[in-house]
């Protein structure tokens, strides 16, 4: 059984009298433990697809099923709870909270979890160690390099042991050497069993993935 | 890491903005504390001053007989068929529910008497209480101290041809004129005042009094209720409120209160606006941050808790500082505002608790919409890049 099942997914945006069809009948199936990269040109719908997968953007039509849960049929704040417990996000611009230290940023997803403070810190420190930042727990984001900030963002995404790790252009703001390091990190996480869905425009990143899905004009054109 | 950690760290990061918000709210609370404290202190001061102007409840005997006029007030009969009140009964006034509102009780015995071939009205009083109640009296000579001292009204002094230090004989007993009143323009000018005890003896009314004046007032003092309460305790007496005095005092106090409430209302409105604008600006600045919170699974209620906790902490600090600043300003201002030089500042736990509570309520209410706005942010739009 697939971990992620997307059926006939459509997403339309209306701006005035104009309707933009960002996603036009997408069907994708992703198995547990897979590392998928979604590629495509700007405006192909890859970021929209990721936000729909992340339970943050209600589709116009179709179904998204994750770990047996029909995402957009979840009532009220259950969708937020699903994000908190099953998903991890890595954003292009890192989006670390500037007034929190590295370890505090990583602990953010645990702020709403019933767990002792010390236990949260241990878990966050372990996640930071996993991304190679075990010695920089108490650094503020502005005291870290771009690559290190990205690693903190990855640690934050994996601290709650998510079933699926979603990443949006994680190397978009990094130089090529740092990009390779970050991609190698994603690969190691995947090797450890982490399912990863990554949006990227860099064809070189595809080599780290098990499979690449290419979108064009809101449709899957290659898989 | 808790939600409160996020709130606290954000407050630390935005020190200048939060200081501006705290000061804005603090000034509002300080203004209210100053106004309320000043108004209450001044009211108490005015009440005290007004109480010095005289009585506002009159206790006279139930009588249908001849009446005699005293200070423009119709009294029960004093010479014929009169039913006096027993002096000991006055102690019952102290047992009424509102006894704490009574500042002075001044019993009097009245009776006609002949001195130096002149008929005069002798009034027996407790001099200490009477002089305290009638602060406008100006005594030439000395204030009476012993039972054989007399105080003469200005007219009585002329008619009896007596000055301070002179001796007068009343029913075979020698009395010393210790003082003469300056002209008051009232009935007091023609009266002869002696100690209550001596007057009772001279008039043959030992243990009895003709009337009693009661001075009672404080803000919200239920004069009507007090009249009823005293009447219940003294069924043989007629108890009436001197309405003009009561209404005049209450009107003055009411004007102070209305001014205070109006000013407080304006300040509360401005304070709310400051909180609202600052919190709204803070929320808008934190769009991406809130988007991250939502994306990683924070519920709307979590976002609201973060924002409202920040508002509560700032408001609490503003409330405490506002109270301290308000009391400080009131302390400095009161001597210039109050009538009496020794007017006392009222330190009230309710004002302290109320000001902190008001700051909290104000901060939370004004932050409610910004918090709701933040919680409703679409994480996709907030993050944009995603």
- In tens, the pLDDT along B101-158 reads 787 788 999 888 888 888 899 999 998 888 877 877 899 999 998 889 999 999 999 9
Three-state SS annotation for B192-253: EEEEHHHHHHHHCCCCEECEEEEEECCCCCCHHHHHHHHHHHCCCEEEEECHHHHHHHHHHH
Task: Find the mean pLDDT for residues A148-155.
Answer: 91
Q: Tell me which residue has tokens 């990143």.
A: A205
What distance in Å separates the CA atoms of residue B362 and residue B279, rounded to the nearest whole number?
12
Per-residue pLDDT tens digits for B316-339: 999 999 999 999 998 888 887 766
A81 contacts on B by Cβ (under 8 Å)? 297, 299
**Which of A83, A84, A112 would you mutate first to test chain B, the one with the most B CBs within 10 A?**
A112
| E strand map for chain B | 57-61, 68-70, 73-75, 85-86, 102-115, 118-125, 139-141, 149-152, 167-170, 173-181, 191-195, 208-209, 211-216, 237-241
> What are the extents of the domains in chain A?
33-56+77-222
Mean pLDDT, all residues of chain B:
83
Stronger pLDDT, B40 or B108, i.e. the higher one: B108
Which chain A residue has its CA at the smallest distance from B299's CA?
A: A80
With an 8 Å Cβ cutoff, is A111 touching chain B? yes
What percent of chain A lies above the pLDDT cut of 70? 100
Which chain A residue has its CA at the smallest distance from B6's CA?
A: A100
Task: Find the mean pLDDT for residues B168-185.
Answer: 90
What distance in Å separates the CA atoms of residue B352 and residue B358, rounded to the nearest whole number?
10
Task: Give whole-number Cα distances, B171 to A73, B114, B243, in Å.
Answer: 109, 8, 39
Contacts of B268 (CB under 8 A, 6+ apart): B28, B32, B358, B362
Number of C-beta neighbours around residue A120 at 10 A: 22
Mean pLDDT, all residues of chain A:
90
As to burial, measured by CB atoms within 10 angstroms (0-12 exposed, 13-18 middle, 19+ buried), residue A161 is exposed
Per-residue pLDDT tens digits for B280-312: 988 888 888 888 999 889 999 999 999 999 999
pLDDT reading at B49 higher than 80: no
Task: Find the mean pLDDT for residues B164-171.
Answer: 90
A117 contacts on B by Cβ (under 8 Å)? 1-2
Which chain A residue has its CA at the smallest distance from B375's CA?
A: A77
Task: Find the mean pLDDT for residues A32-38.
Answer: 94
Return the structure tokens found at B183: 């002209």
Option in B6, B10, B386 nearest A47 (CB): B386
What distance in Å separates the CA atoms of residue A189 and residue B280, rounded to the nearest whole number?
40
User: Could you tell me the pLDDT band of residue B368, with boundaries at 50, 70 and 90?
Assistant: very high
The answer to whether the CB atoms of B3 and A112 lie below 8 A apart is yes
With an 8 Å Cβ cutoff, is A94 touching chain B? no
User: Could you tell me the pLDDT band of residue B221, with boundaries at 50, 70 and 90?
Assistant: low
Give the pLDDT confidence score for residue B336 in this predicted structure.
79
Which chain B residue has its CA at the smallest distance from A82's CA?
A: B297
B385 contacts on A by Cβ (under 8 Å)? 47, 91-93, 95, 168-169
- Among A120-129, A176-185, B74-83, name the one with the lowest average pLDDT: B74-83
pTM over 0.90: no
What percent of chain B lies above the pLDDT cut of 90? 27
Which chain A residue has its CA at the smallest distance from B291's CA?
A: A95
Which chain A residue has its CA at the smallest distance from B301's CA?
A: A77
pLDDT reading at A52 higher than 60: yes
Report the gap between the CA of A223 and the closest CA in chain B (Å). Answer: 22
| E strand map for chain A | 4-15, 18-30, 35-40, 61-66, 69-70, 87-90, 164-168, 195-199, 211-216, 219-222
Task: Find the mean pLDDT for residues B166-185.
Answer: 90
Give the pLDDT confidence score for residue B378 in this predicted structure.
81
Give the pLDDT confidence score for residue B285 in this predicted structure.
86
What distance in Å separates the CA atoms of residue B90 and residue B185, rounded to the nearest whole number?
30
Q: Which residues of B touch A (CB under 8 A)?
A: 1-3, 5-6, 9-10, 12-13, 288-289, 291-302, 378-380, 383, 385-386
Do A155 and A124 contact (CB within 8 A), yes or no? yes
User: Could you tell me the pLDDT band of residue A194, with boundaries at 50, 70 and 90?
Assistant: very high
Option in B6, B295, B298 nearest A56 (CB): B295
Per-residue pLDDT tens digits for B239-258: 887 766 656 666 776 777 78
User: Could you tell me the pLDDT band of residue B386, with boundaries at 50, 70 and 90?
Assistant: very low
Q: Tell me which residue has tokens 């100690």.
A: B195
User: Could you tell me the pLDDT band of residue B76, with boundaries at 50, 70 and 90?
Assistant: very low
With an 8 Å Cβ cutoff, is A83 touching chain B? yes
What distance in Å separates the CA atoms of residue B199 and residue B202, rounded to the nearest whole number?
5
The answer to whether the CB atoms of A99 and B10 lie below 8 A apart is yes
| E strand map for A31-129 | 35-40, 61-66, 69-70, 87-90
Report the gap between the CA of A43 and the closest CA in chain B (Å). Answer: 13
Which chain A residue has its CA at the smallest distance from B296's CA?
A: A84
With an 8 Å Cβ cutoff, is A108 touching chain B? yes
With an 8 Å Cβ cutoff, is A221 touching chain B? no
What distance in Å separates the CA atoms of residue B347 and residue A127, rounded to the nearest whole number?
55
Do B349 and B356 contact (CB within 8 A), yes or no? no
What percent of chain B lies above the pLDDT cut of 70? 85
Give the pLDDT confidence score for residue B78 in this predicted structure.
46
The answer to whether the CB atoms of B298 and A51 lie below 8 A apart is no
Q: What's the complex ipTM?
A: 0.91
The answer to whether the CB atoms of A110 and B299 lie below 8 A apart is no
Q: Which of B31, B43, B39, B40 is nearest to B323 (CA)?
A: B31
Number of C-beta neighbours around residue A118 at 10 A: 8
B294 contacts on A by Cβ (under 8 Å)? 56, 80
Per-residue pLDDT tens digits for A93-111: 888 999 899 999 999 999 9
Option in B297, B383, B385 nearest A84 (CB): B297
pLDDT reading at B342 higher than 50: yes
DSSP string, B251-280: HHHHHHHHHHHHHHHHHHHHHHHHHHHHHH
Stronger pLDDT, B92 or B218, i.e. the higher one: B92
Give the pLDDT confidence score for residue B36 in this predicted structure.
84
The answer to whether the CB atoms of A80 and B291 lie below 8 A apart is no
Option in B1, B6, B297 nearest A120 (CB): B1
CATH topology assigned to domain A33-56+77-222: Rossmann fold (3.40.50)
Do A141 and A105 contact (CB within 8 A), yes or no? yes
């Amino acid at each position: 059984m697939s971990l992620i099942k997307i059926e006939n997914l459509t997403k339309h945006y209306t701006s005035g009298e104009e309707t933009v069809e960002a996603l036009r009948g997408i069907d994708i199936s992703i198995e547990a433990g897979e590392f998928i990269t979604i590629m495509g040109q700007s405006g192909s719908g890859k970021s929209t697809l990721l936000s729909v997968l992340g339970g943050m953007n209600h589709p116009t039509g179709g179904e998204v099923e994750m770990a047996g849960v029909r995402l957009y049929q979840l009532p009220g704040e259950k969708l937020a709870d699903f994000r908190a417990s099953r998903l991890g996000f890595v954003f292009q611009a890192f989006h670390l909270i500037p007034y929190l230290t590295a370890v505090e940023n990583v602990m953010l997803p645990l702020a709403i979890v019933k767990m002792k403070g010390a236990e949260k810190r241990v878990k966050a420190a372990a996640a930071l160690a996993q991304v190679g930042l075990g010695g920089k727990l108490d650094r503020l984001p502005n005291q870290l390099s771009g690559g290190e900030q990205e690693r903190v963002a990855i640690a934050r995404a994996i601290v709650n042991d998510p079933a699926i790790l979603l990443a949006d252009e994680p190397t978009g703001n990094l130089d090529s050497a740092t990009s390779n390091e970050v991609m190698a990190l994603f690969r190691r996480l995947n090797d450890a069993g982490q399912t990863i869905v990554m949006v990227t425009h860099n064809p070189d990143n595809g080599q780290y993935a098990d499979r690449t899905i290419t979108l064009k004009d809101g449709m899957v054109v290659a898989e | 890491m808790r939600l409160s950690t996020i709130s606290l760290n954000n407050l630390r990061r935005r020190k200048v903005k939060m200081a501006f918000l705290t000061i804005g709210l603090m000034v509002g609370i300080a203004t209210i504390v100053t106004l309320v404290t000043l108004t209450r202190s001044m009211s108490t001061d005015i009440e005290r001053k007004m109480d010095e102007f005289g009585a506002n409840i009159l206790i006279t005997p139930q009588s249908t007989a001849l009446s005699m006029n005293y200070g423009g007030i119709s009294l029960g009969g004093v010479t014929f068929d009169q039913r006096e009140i027993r002096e000991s009964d006055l102690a019952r006034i102290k047992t009424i529910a509102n006894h704490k509102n009574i500042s002075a009780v001044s019993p009097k015995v009245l009776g006609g008497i002949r001195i130096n071939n002149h008929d005069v009205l002798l009034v027996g009083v407790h001099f200490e209480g009477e002089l305290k109640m009638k602060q406008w009296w100006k005594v030439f000579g000395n204030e009476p101290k012993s039972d054989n001292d007399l105080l003469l009204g200005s007219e009585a002094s002329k008619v009896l041809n007596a000055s301070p230090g002179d001796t007068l004989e009343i029913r075979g007993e020698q009395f010393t004129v210790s003082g003469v009143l300056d002209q008051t323009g009232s009935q007091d000018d023609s009266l002869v005042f002696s100690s209550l005890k001596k007057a009772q003896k001279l008039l043959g009314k030992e243990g009895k009094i003709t009337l009693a004046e009661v001075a009672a007032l404080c803000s919200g003092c239920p004069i009507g209720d007090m009249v009823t309460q005293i009447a219940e305790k003294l069924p043989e007496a007629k108890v009436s409120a001197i309405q003009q005095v009561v209404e005049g005092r209450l009107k003055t106090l009411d004007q102070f209160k209305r001014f205070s409430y109006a000013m407080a209302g304006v300040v509360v409105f401005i304070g709310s606006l400051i909180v609202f604008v600052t919190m709204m600006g803070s929320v808008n600045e934190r769009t991406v941050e809130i988007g991250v919170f939502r994306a990683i699974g924070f519920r709307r209620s979590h976002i609201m808790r973060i924002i409202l906790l920040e508002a509560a902490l700032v408001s609490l600090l503003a409330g405490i500082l506002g109270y301290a600043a308000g009391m400080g300003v009131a302390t400095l201002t009161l001597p210039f505002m109050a009538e009496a030089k020794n007017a006392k500042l009222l330190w009230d736990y309710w004002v302290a608790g109320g000001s902190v509570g008001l700051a909290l309520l104000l901060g939370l209410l004004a932050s409610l919409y910004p918090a709701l706005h933040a919680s409703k942010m679409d994480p996709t739009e907030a993050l944009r890049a995603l």
